[in-house]
Amino acid sequence: MSGRAGSASPASPGAFAPASVTDWLAYLEGLHPKGQAGIELGLERVQLVKEALRQQLPCPLITVAGTNGKGSTCAYLEAIYTFAGYRVGCYSSPHLLDYNERVRINGRAVDDALLCAAFAKVEEARKACHGIALTYFEFGTLAALEVFAAQAVEVLILEVGLGGRLDAVNAYDADCALVTSIALDHTEWLGPTRESIGFEKAGIFRAGKPALCADPDPPASLIAQALAVGADLQLLGRDFGHFGDAAQWTFWGRGGLRRGGLANPGLRGRCQLRNACAALAAVEGLKTRLPVSMSAVRRGLIELDLPGRFQVLPGRPTIVLDVAHNPQAVGELVDNLAGMGFFARTLAVVGMLADKDIAGSLAPLAGRIDRWLLADLGGPRGASAASLAEVVTAASLGGEVECLSSPEQAFARSAKLAGENDRIAVFGSFYTVAAVMRSMQNGR
């Protein structure tokens, strides 16, 4: 697939006729003043173009928001409904290697032809709306929904890009809305506290519809917003939950519901049981419209793959890929690393965006890293390796520190330094993990 943005230069609207996904993505980067990395929250633009498209989505829709765990929860839902025999559309972001990964049907990324046709329809509608300047994410969201409508999906899963209330995904009304977790991230857009962030994420809730929250300590703002809109609020530990041991677990829900004898989730990490539990709560919330067998549930929980989420590669040295990029996610990564057993040394390949809480994210790793291979992350939002090194040194996190010009070079250096009994942890950003994955694919 040709989903990565290439070198094609966008021209003025009306003079450019993109012929591939690569060309389209280059074009989209020039449509909005802030480019691909730009964020401009608000529903007015996307609603206007959506109405011009006259999109009709007659199938049940699940919207998933949260600071962490969104991608995993969407993957469980996608797999369960696929094994149940439904035609499942899933929209997620960001992608790792190819843009097409964002738009999937039954777990498979759609092909370039479908995406290009959808982009063309959105562009025609955008021009009809006086050439309104959609952001990269807004344009992509509208195009994804065009694909799903054309392909007549029977259930639709949408992952919120940022926040919830003002995210482009929220232009579509959820039949079941799920918030996986609430922690500090994107504070410049969502506010500086869990209360402000909880309010934004609760914006996906709808009156009379299941509104699930899998955060064990939900902010009062989220609960208040659910009550204000008249949603059917269901909380982890109160309305649904899980118990079990190392061998198997049981999901429980309202009315004494029990779904027992479940194998541990297929995705690695201690947080995955909570994500899987949240997915099952959503399945239960829509069971009258989307009946699902226990066989589909069991298969969906274990027969899935989601690269970059505590992904442990085979071979020696052990390599762990994780897109963790905020304090909560890195804290969970640290817990997962601690549960892996003994390694002679741990080498960290890290690249981060400058607008993240770098100090807070790296703090949980104090005394746990033997050597830091810190990478410059390019682009307008990328942090320099030198700035990461300053954080590691100032916080006395321990370990030797080395700065390199890219994640690829940092990983190559780690591979030369690591012995067969060592471990290399690659984390800090989707961009960092993607760069390392590409370098391994290319044999560098």
Expressed in angstroms, the distance from the first to the final Cα of the chain is 21
Check: CB of residue 259 under 8 Å from CB of residue 280.
yes
Q: How confident is the model at residue 392, as a pLDDT?
A: 97
Question: Can you tell me the distance from the alpha carbon of 333 to that of 321, in angstroms, rounded to the nearest whole number?
Answer: 10
How do the pLDDT tens digits run along the chain, 444 residues long?
Answer: 334 333 333 334 445 578 899 999 989 888 766 645 557 788 999 999 999 999 988 899 999 999 999 999 999 999 999 999 999 999 999 999 999 999 999 999 999 999 999 999 999 999 999 999 899 999 999 999 999 999 999 999 999 998 899 999 999 999 999 999 998 887 787 889 999 999 999 999 999 999 999 999 999 999 999 999 999 999 999 999 999 887 899 999 999 999 999 999 988 888 899 999 999 999 999 999 999 999 999 999 999 988 999 999 999 999 999 999 999 999 999 999 999 989 999 999 999 999 899 999 999 999 999 999 999 998 778 999 999 999 999 999 999 999 999 999 999 999 999 999 999 999 999 999 999 999 998 875
H-state helical runs in 129-239: 136-150, 187-190, 194-201, 220-229
Q: How confident is the model at residue 33, as a pLDDT?
A: 63
Q: How confident is the model at residue 295, as a pLDDT?
A: 96
At residue 105, the 3 state secondary structure works out as strand
Q: How confident is the model at residue 49, as a pLDDT?
A: 97
Tokens read off for 51: 């109405």
Question: Can you tell me the distance from the alpha carbon of 165 to that of 7, in angstroms, rounded to the nearest whole number?
Answer: 34
Q: How confident is the model at residue 388, as a pLDDT?
A: 97
